């Protein structure tokens, strides 16, 4: 038996009740493990699980650190409407992470990251579909594709290589001319003449409903939820001890799926986990006067739009900043203005604004890995803005890992030891 194998029936604690933690709880519970989940907030209420765009972006296979990103980043940092943002007060603290980020954009490292993300994405829609079907929630998932819209013919032409690369990996798309764009997404600004339709894309009806629906289902199946804040994780003989605000408990294994807060747990254990907060901004318009049938990605702007149960949600961007810093109100104003440019006639008088911190690694690849310091501690974190997309697949991979699978190339590509 491999040293790290945790036998079926063992007690497993999961720290974090976002979509990653809850999907992991579902997978382990179905396998036969005795699962407990720790989070001081209600499932999905903290972090970026609550109000993200709801996309299952199965063809979103490229890391953010693409070749030439250093020059693109300089231009974006000087443009207040660009998707990349680093507040000056956080700039120097972010340099070590950005150094790794830029390093990832080159040669073999970029290919390795793309391979890892492609592997996760290939199964993402099917795994999500299977997960929701198991818990009688399949009606909450749609797969009608996604329109990638470009501002100019030049940027559209530059994107050709990325779509060719996707096609070579089995991700199917088609070109949309101006007539097709107006037919499929008639409510967007008619200045948009160039687009691709990605068929490998889905969306959920409401992200928070997915998390809470799954949490309620596994609670019925025996998963125990503890509304407590975990302060430390430590090893004791053949078990792992969790200390929390109302005591301590001993488990056969612990999984850290605490989003951006996973960093502090890794540091306390001595693991090197280079993550930072990738903060996203959006607005949601209940009962919007504008309707869209499929998700839209405004590729040159880093903005996405989705029709959800709660309304029309528009947002995006990547602000690398302190997760605890208050939201930048100027960004909300910019998102509102840009939304009305993208959708002429859009009323935003009743818009609700939200900002969430996504846990982002320098190579955009999550960490699904055993700790290098404690054999019975595992990580499932660092998914950035791919959390909902990768949740079900990541949970299945974590199950394989906890059962002792460590040697496949796919598992190794997700290991924490790649940062050594």
For residue 326, the model assigns a pLDDT of: 94
Q: What is the DSSP letter of 52?
A: S
- What one-character-per-residue DSSP string does 144-203 give? --EEEEESSHHHHHHTHHHHHHHHHTT--EEEE-HHHHHHHSTTS-TT--EEEEESS-EE
pLDDT over threshold 80, residue 101: yes
Q: Which residue has the higher pLDDT, 86 or 414?
A: 414
Spatial contact of 391 and 18, defined as CB atoms under 8 Å apart: no
Q: Which residue has the higher pLDDT, 5 or 206?
A: 206
Which residue in 109, 113, 58 sits closest to 414, CA to CA?
113
CA distance 254 to 192: 49
For residue 113, the model assigns a pLDDT of: 96
* Residue whose pair of structure tokens reads 């939304």 in the numeric block: 339
Beta pairing partners, 318: 84
* pLDDT bucket at 79, cuts 50 / 70 / 90: confident
Q: What is the DSSP letter of 42?
A: P
CA distance 416 to 367: 6
User: Helix 69-77 vs helix 88-104: angle between axes, to the nearest 10 degrees?
Assistant: 160
pLDDT over threshold 80, residue 207: yes
CA distance 161 to 150: 15
- 288 CB burial (10 A radius; 0-12, 13-18, 19+): buried
pLDDT over threshold 70, residue 2: no
* pLDDT bucket at 81, cuts 50 / 70 / 90: confident
Sheet of strand 239-244: strand arrangement: 230-236, 239-244, 247-251
Q: Which tokens hold the place of 136?
A: 């009688």
CA distance 23 to 61: 21
Which residue in 195, 236, 132, 158 sits closest to 342, CA to CA?
195
For residue 73, the model assigns a pLDDT of: 80
CA distance 379 to 319: 24
CA distance 48 to 41: 13
* pLDDT bucket at 4, cuts 50 / 70 / 90: low
Spatial contact of 319 and 278, defined as CB atoms under 8 Å apart: yes
User: Helix 387-402 vs helix 19-31: angle between axes, to the nearest 10 degrees?
Assistant: 40
For residue 61, the model assigns a pLDDT of: 97
For residue 75, the model assigns a pLDDT of: 81
* pLDDT bucket at 3, cuts 50 / 70 / 90: low
Taking residues 127-151, what's their average pLDDT?
A: 97
Q: Which residue has the higher pLDDT, 411 or 345?
A: 345
Rounded CA Rg of the chain = 21
For residue 1, the model assigns a pLDDT of: 36
pLDDT over threshold 70, residue 108: yes
Spatial contact of 260 and 47, defined as CB atoms under 8 Å apart: yes
pLDDT over threshold 60, residue 181: yes
**All domains in the chain, ordered by first residue:** 11-49+209-274+364-419 (3.50.50.60), 62-115+140-201+275-360 (3.30.9.10)
pLDDT in tens, 15-57: 999 999 999 999 999 999 999 999 999 999 988 999 999 999 9
- What one-character-per-residue DSSP string does 215-239 give? HHHHHHTT-EEE---EEEEEEETTE
Q: Alpha helix (H) ranges present in 13-87?
A: 19-31, 69-77
Mean pLDDT score across all residues of the chain: 94
Spatial contact of 94 and 276, defined as CB atoms under 8 Å apart: yes
CA distance 48 to 388: 10
Beta pairing partners, 202: 56
Q: Which residue has the higher pLDDT, 409 or 316?
A: 316
pLDDT in tens, 252-303: 999 999 999 999 999 999 999 999 999 999 999 999 999 999 999 999 999 9
Which residue in 253, 271, 269, 374 sits closest to 5, CA to CA?
253
């Amino acid at each position: 038996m491999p040293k790290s194998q945790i036998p079926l029936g063992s007690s497993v604690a999961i720290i974090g009740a976002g979509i990653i933690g809850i999907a992991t709880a579902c997978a382990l519970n179905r396998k036969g493990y005795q699962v407990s989940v720790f989070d001081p907030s209600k499932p999905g209420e903290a972090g970026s699980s609550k109000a993200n765009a709801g996309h299952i972006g199965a063809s979103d296979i490229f890391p953010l650190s693409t070749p030439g990103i250093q020059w693109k980043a300089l231009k974006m940092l000087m443009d207040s409407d660009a998707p990349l943002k680093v507040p000056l007060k956080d700039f120097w603290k972010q340099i070590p992470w950005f150094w790794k980020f830029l390093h990832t954009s080159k040669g073999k490292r970029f290919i390795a990251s793309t391979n890892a993300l492609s592997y996760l994405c290939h199964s993402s829609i099917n795994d999500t579909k299977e997960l929701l079907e198991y818990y009688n929630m399949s009606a909450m998932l749609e797969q009608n594709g996604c329109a990638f819209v470009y501002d100019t013919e030049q940027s559209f032409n530059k994107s050709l290589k990325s779509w060719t690369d996707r096609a070579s990996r089995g991700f199917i798309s088609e070109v949309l001319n101006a007539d097709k764009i107006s037919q499929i997404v008639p409510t967007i600004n008619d200045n948009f003449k160039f687009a691709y339709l990605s068929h490998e894309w889905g969306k959920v009806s409401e992200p928070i409903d997915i998390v809470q629906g799954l949490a309620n289902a596994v609670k019925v199946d025996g998963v125990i939820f503890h509304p407590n804040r975990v302060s430390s994780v430590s090893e004791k003989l053949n078990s792992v001890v969790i200390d929390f605000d109302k005591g301590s408990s001993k488990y056969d294994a612990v999984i850290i799926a605490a989003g951006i807060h996973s960093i502090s747990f890794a540091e306390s254990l001595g693991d090197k986990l280079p993550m930072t907060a990738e903060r996203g901004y959006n607005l949601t318009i209940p009962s919007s006067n504008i309707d869209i049938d499929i998700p839209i990605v405004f590729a040159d702007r880093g903005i996405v739009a989705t029709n959800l149960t709660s309304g029309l949600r528009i947002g995006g961007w990547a602000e690398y900043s302190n997760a605890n810093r208050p939201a930048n109100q100027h960004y909300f104003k910019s998102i509102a203005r840009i939304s009305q440019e993208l959708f002429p006639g859009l009323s935003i008088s009743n818009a609700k604004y939200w900002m969430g911190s996504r846990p982002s690694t320098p190579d955009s690849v999550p960490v699904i890995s055993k700790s290098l310091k404690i054999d019975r501690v595992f990580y499932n974190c660092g998914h950035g803005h791919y959390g909902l997309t990768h949740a079900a697949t990541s949970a299945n991979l974590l199950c394989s890992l906890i059962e002792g699978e460590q040697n496949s190339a796919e598992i190794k590509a997700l290991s924490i030891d790649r940062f050594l």
